[in-house]
Homo-oligomer: A and B are copies of this chain.
Amino acid sequence: MRTSYHEELNSVLDHLVHMADLVEIAIREASEALLTADLGRAEAVITNDAQLDQMHEELEYQCLSLLALQAPVAGELRTIVSAIRVVFELARMGDLAAHIAKIARLRYPAHAVPERFEPNFREMAEIAEKVIDVARLSLLERDAQGARTLATIDAKMDGLRRDHFTEIFREGSDIDVEGAVDVALLGRYFERFSDHAVAVGRRVIYIITGEVPEGVDWPNA
């Protein structure tokens, strides 16, 4: 019985890693759809998001069943409760990738991102892929040290978003209203995506060490 319980606990963590894989694909494809105005890619991200929502429901149910049937304590309790939160964060990250894809679809065949913002969004896309990759690896390898690097990477995302506003509101800027609104919302989605990765990292640190790490604020941007 205990063995099968531990197997199930490990299976939850494996499923989280798999879910993180899918989120990584989603944000990469959404970014590519956005930056190349690729309608097919955008549609695929939007369609595939249902799978992440389904995994959210199933994994949460699995965690609740484990809580109910096994009455875990200490580290195991911490793992299961944290897994519930991680699965939620990952599902939200999938939603945000789908939001990005939806803006790409809305503007197709035009590019949603005004040309001069492309390098900035290319960087945002790279950071988004980086944070989910680091979060996934920290889950896979139970690596608190890796998870701790997420806040630093996330700070770069916040910087890129500040650059948007500087450019949009710059005197003499000739950005049109549609472009400005798209940049503002897309920037928000990438920024939130990164925030959720930081939150995953915090949970991984909590699972491994049992302590809420000092100096890492909850993302509230």
A residues sitting closer than 8 Å to B (CB atoms) are: 49, 53, 56-57, 64, 67-68, 71, 73-74, 77-78, 81, 84-85, 88, 95, 98, 165, 168-169, 173, 175-178, 180-181, 184-185, 188, 212, 218, 220
A3 CB to closest chain B CB, in angstroms?
20
Given the complex, which residues of B lie within 8 Å of A81, measured CB to CB?
A: 64, 67, 81, 84
**Taking CB as reference atom, which chain B residue is nearest A183?**
B181
Nearest Cβ on chain B to A188's Cβ, whole angstroms: 7
C-alpha gap A220/B46 in the complex (Å): 12
14 A-B interface contacts by CB (under 8 A):
A53-B218, A56-B218, A64-B77, A64-B78, A67-B81, A68-B74, A81-B81, A84-B84, A98-B220, A165-B181, A177-B180, A181-B181, A181-B184, A185-B188
Does A168 contact B185, Cβ atoms closer than 8 Å?
Answer: no
The interface residues of chain B lying within 8 Å CB-to-CB of A68 are 73-74, 77
Contact of A168 (CB < 8 Å), options: B53, B168, B181, B218: B181
Identical subunits present: 2
With A and B bound together, what is the CA distance between A218 and B53 in angstroms?
9
Q: Nearest-CB distance from A75 to chain B (Å)?
A: 11
Instruction: Please name the 3 residue pairs, one residue from A and one from B, whose CB atoms are nearest each other, closest first.
Output: A71-B71, A177-B180, A181-B184
Tell me, in angstroms, the Cα distance from A132 to B71 when the chains sit together.
Answer: 33
- A181 proximity list for chain B (CB < 8 A): 165, 168, 180-181, 184
Chain B minimum-CB-distance residue to A98: B220
- Asked whether, in the complex, the Cβ of A95 is within 8 Å of the Cβ of B177, the reply is no
Q: Which residues of B sit under 8 angstroms from A175, Cβ to Cβ?
A: 177
Contacts of A84 in B (CB 8 A): 81, 84-85
Cα A180 to Cα B165 with chains together (Å)? 13
Residue in chain B with minimal CB distance to A180: B177
Most chain B Cβ neighbours within 10 Å, of A169, A180, A220 = A220
- Closest B residue to A175 by beta carbon equals B177
Find chain B residues with CB under 8 A from A85 CB: 84, 88
